[in-house]
Chains A and B, each alone.
Chain A
Amino acid sequence: MQVKEPEPPSTIHLSAALTAETTLGPRIPSFRSALVTTLRDYGIYFALALLVAYFAVALPQFRTPESALLVLLQVSVIGIIAIGMTFTILTAGIDLSVGSLLAVAGMFSGVFAQKDPSAANVFLAFMLPVLIGLAGGAINGVIIAWAGVNPLIVTLGTLTAYRGFVVWYRVNPIYDLQSYYRVVGQGAVGPLPIPAVILLLMAGMAWVVLNYTRYGRYVYVVGGNPEAARAAGINVPLLKFSVYLISGFCVGVAALIFTSRLMAAQAISGQGFELQAIAAAVVGGASLFGGRGKITNTIVGALIMGVLFTGLVMLNVPAPIQQMVIGVIIITAVWLDAVLRQKGY
């Protein structure tokens, strides 16, 4: 559909006279502003390091490789969902339906994981959640991109609808899953749990896509200024559709891991996951207005939440207090980011 374009040759030769003196000097950064800029860009790493250091000093049992793996394992499901969430947030969208979609995908995976381990059933138990994730994401994407309904509203609607569907389909949990099925959620490659491996793989892929491909560049541009994106010839609706497809895919993978780890498929799975995934992305500095955000920071954001949670549990902090602490941390992180930005750093 595209006419092939010529490579950009240097046919526009602007004379040297143009490149000489101009009236507009560049800004020279002061040491202080350089410091603040560094803090803004890498502050989240410092924050994670501080948290880990604090818990490591305060808790002997936190200083073990086992607890590191525990954090990774805990973070993996939310982390994978947060990867997809980052794509939607980068386009100034959001996907609230991830928790409900996870329950739908997990339920159908469980249905086949319960049956005798024939090749077809094994295949469906592993593939169906991903396909369902893609389908759920496609429904969101079509409505958002081409019907032009606000993403918040669309995914709020599907959050409710997908949950309703899975409860209607099967309200009772499925527990007696075949034992082969536990490999995804409970297996390990060397010392690393498979969920963590999948998280790292998917984060790596997302990182490559967002930083080194044309598609990734377009995601940022569409989120940063959709009018400019259209004027530059980008198919904005198609791109918006695609990020919900990616989000759905991530949810499908997360659903497989989640169901396999619990060895149970439940209609009530995944409630509140959307908020945890959004929290990971925004703590990582993603802007809900689009165009700003990094996949590495989202993962670090998810790790911060995971470390915090694990550490607070080990400190025997009661669950309600944990929730309050995490709430305060989310707001502080985003507020700090906004303050640094307003100061022009």
Chain B
Amino acid sequence: MSDHAPIVRMRAISKAFGSTVAVNGVDLDLMPGEIHGVVGENGAGKSTLMRVLSGFYADYVGEIALDGRAVRILHPGQARTLGIGLVHQELSLVPELTVADNIFLGREPLARVPGFLNLTAARIQARTLCRELGIALRPEAKVARLSIAERQLVEVAKGVALNPRVLILDEPTSSLTHQEIGRLGHIIRGLASRGVTIVYISHKLDEVFAVADRVTVLRDGRRVATAPISEWTEATLVQAMVGRDLSSLFPRSRGARGGVRLEVRHLGRKGAFRNVSFAVCSGEILGLYGLIGSGRTALAEALFGLTPAHEGDILLDGARMSIRSPLDAITHGIAMTPEDRRLRGLVPMLPVRTNLSLRALRALSRVGFIRGLRERTEVERIIQALAIHTRSQTVEVSTLSGGNQQKVLIGRWLMVPPRVLILDEPTRGIDVGAKAEVHAIIDRLARDGLAVLLISSELPEILGMSDRIVVMRDGTVAGEVTRQEASEERIMTIAAGGAAERTAS
């Protein structure tokens, strides 16, 4: 490749969000016509780096040169003009419009009469494009009627329609089936052979090995290595992705675990996960790890009744339970803090007190009337126990820091002691100090006999906190490892689809 000049040359690129540095001094060269894989853990900075190149962040630091000429890319329109196209990780289609409308959104072919669109031309162009790409979609079809996988293909077509010189695909296969992934790989190689440079962001290693010419590994916002695919093995790639020491200390005060508290047998929900079996003991923290799209959050939501499972059994202390709604789960003593604090957890405009006591109101009231003093006392007890920093019980919960908001959510479920606590990403988006506090709380709860199911995308957290780790991949359990045998490499290998392993349990 050294006989070509790079089409894109990125030097010392950095981008911070507040105090969080997402990308830190990264260099990257993209060659004409190459397929460049960019891999890394969740949160390693892959998407941020590519969004810088696509003009989403005008406040990045560093230099970008296109064909050897320095450019500063300040908005997506400029990136598009320069020939850089991005296919989003999150779907950005307008569901009520047709496939053709979406492909040409914002640059519809104009008719001769000013102000009118040439819809026929758009449809014909869209049809040609789909045929070229081998996508079996009618341009007239409404996007709302398409499956998620089909929508993802429309996204790709939308990117290709821009006729870009550099096309960035951000996790393009997160909801594609095996066959569709193969199809997409074919499309990508076709584009590359026509001279288009492809950036392929993924954390699925098998796909990267299947399509990429070169691979760059990012970790914690920095570039670890770039090398041709032939120089990587699955092992060295995983090593590069996770190779960091577990420097942060995780508290561990708990002793021996008790009996099996929660057991799940062959649980499944169509389109989300299938045949999931595991058990959590009282006094134990079970880590649940999986990459995006592995079904881990869907599983948690099924256990809590938000989106009930279709098949399989959930047993609590050996007794089968039917969980069809959150109320069922609560009644059986299952508690859950959601992945998205704002969406499912907090009631932002209400005071800290109201947010904390919500779950316990039934116990805190007599004939429908809330016992004010009792409520204040119990809320104060939790505020003290979890060291929630708030000026008073009456300030709006939205004014608290992320860490304290998370503590409010955990505290809500402790007002009436649960038997099983499911924590979905309990430390996402909170700073290091607060993280340590939340970890200490989780450890303490397990010591007090709670069965804890900890879901996290952060490997160090999973490894540091868990007694056992269940790894999910493609909607089912891909392996289970004990604390002693767990390592980042091992878990990443299972999660990203290396040799599947399974301990009989």
Contact = CB atoms under 8 A, between A and B. Distances in A.
A339 interface: no
A29 B469 CA distance: 45
A18 B441 contact: yes
B115 interface: no
B386 interface: yes
A15 B441 CA distance: 10
A150 interface: no
A25 B391 CA distance: 9
A12 B448 contact: yes
Interface size class of A (residues with CB under 8 A): 35 or more
Contact of B416 (A8, A22, A27, A235): A8
Nearest to A224: B347
Interface of B: 304, 306, 325-327, 330-331, 336, 338, 343-350, 354, 358-365, 368-370, 372, 378, 381, 384-387, 389-391, 399, 401, 403-404, 412, 414-417, 431, 433-434, 437, 440-441, 444-445, 448
Interface of A: 2-3, 5-15, 17-20, 22-29, 212-215, 217-218, 220-221, 224-225, 227-233, 235, 287, 291-292
Nearest to A11: B417
A212 B370 contact: yes
Given A7-B363, A214-B362, A231 B306 contact: yes
A290 to B, nearest CB: 9
Given A8-B360, A227-B343, 6 more contacts: A2-B362, A7-B363, A14-B444, A23-B437, A214-B370, A220-B350
A22 B361 contact: no
Contacts of A13: 385, 448
B403 to A, nearest CB: 6
B391 A26 contact: yes
B387 A8 contact: no
* Among all A-B residue pairs, the 9 with the closest Cβ atoms: A23-B433, A224-B347, A233-B327, A14-B385, A233-B330, A225-B347, A24-B389, A227-B344, A214-B365
A231 B345 contact: yes
Nearest to B359: A232
B386 A18 contact: yes
Contact of A10 (B325, B331, B368, B381): B381
A12 B368 contact: no
Contacts of B325: 230, 233
Contacts of A232: 326, 330, 358-359, 412
A22 B383 CA distance: 13
A5 B363 contact: yes
A16 to B, nearest CB: 10
Residue picked from B343, B361, B404, B417, most chain A C-beta under 10 Å: B361
Contact of A215 (B330, B368, B384, B441): B368
Contacts of B369: 212-214
Dominant secondary structure at the A interface: loop
Contact of B389 (A7, A26, A218, A230): A26
A20 B364 CA distance: 28
Contacts of A19: 384-385, 387
A225 B343 CA distance: 7
A231 B348 contact: no
Residue picked from A5, A15, A217, A228, most chain B C-beta under 10 Å: A228
Contacts of B349: 224, 287, 291-292
Contacts of B372: 212
Residue picked from B348, B372, B378, B387, most chain A C-beta under 10 Å: B387
A27 B386 CA distance: 18
Given A24-B401, A227-B344, A235 B384 contact: no
Given A10-B381, A11-B417, A22 B363 contact: no
B172 to A, nearest CB: 29
A231 B414 contact: no
Contact of A214 (B345, B361, B384): B361
B354 A220 contact: yes
Contacts of A22: 387, 389, 433-434, 437
B357 to A, nearest CB: 8
A277 to B, nearest CB: 22
B452 to A, nearest CB: 13
A18 B344 contact: no
A23 B389 CA distance: 9
A215 B367 CA distance: 11
Contacts of B401: 24
Contacts of B330: 232-233
A298 B327 CA distance: 33
18 contacts: A2-B331, A8-B416, A12-B417, A18-B385, A23-B434, A24-B433, A24-B434, A29-B391, A212-B369, A224-B348, A225-B344, A225-B345, A228-B344, A230-B306, A230-B325, A231-B304, A233-B327, A292-B349
Nearest to A1: B327
B331 A231 contact: no
Given A13-B448, A24-B403, A5 B416 contact: yes
Nearest to A216: B370
A231 B363 CA distance: 17
Contacts of B444: 14-15, 18
A18 B414 CA distance: 15
B450 to A, nearest CB: 8
Contacts of B338: 231
A291 B350 contact: yes
Given A23-B431, A233-B330, A221 B354 contact: yes
Contacts of B437: 18, 22-23
Contacts of B370: 212-214, 217
Given A8-B378, A15-B444, A22-B433, A228 B363 contact: no
A154 B363 CA distance: 36
Contacts of A217: 354, 358, 361, 370
Contacts of A2: 331, 362
Contacts of A5: 362-363, 416
Nearest to B401: A24
Contacts of B434: 22-24
Contacts of A20: 387
Contacts of B360: 8
A18 B368 contact: no
Nearest to A341: B349
Nearest to B253: A15
Nearest to A291: B349
Contact of B386 (A14, A213, A235): A14
Contacts of A25: 389
Given A10-B381, A233-B326, A225 B346 contact: yes
Contacts of A213: 365, 368-370
A2 B381 CA distance: 26
Contacts of A212: 369-370, 372
A227 B137 CA distance: 35
A221 B357 CA distance: 11
B298 to A, nearest CB: 15
A221 B358 contact: yes
Contacts of A8: 360, 363-364, 378, 415-417
A91 B416 CA distance: 26
B215 to A, nearest CB: 38
A257 B401 CA distance: 50
Contacts of B416: 5-6, 8
A231 B342 CA distance: 12
Contacts of A231: 304, 306, 326, 336, 338, 344-345
A19 B378 CA distance: 16
A2 B350 CA distance: 26
B476 to A, nearest CB: 25
B352 to A, nearest CB: 11
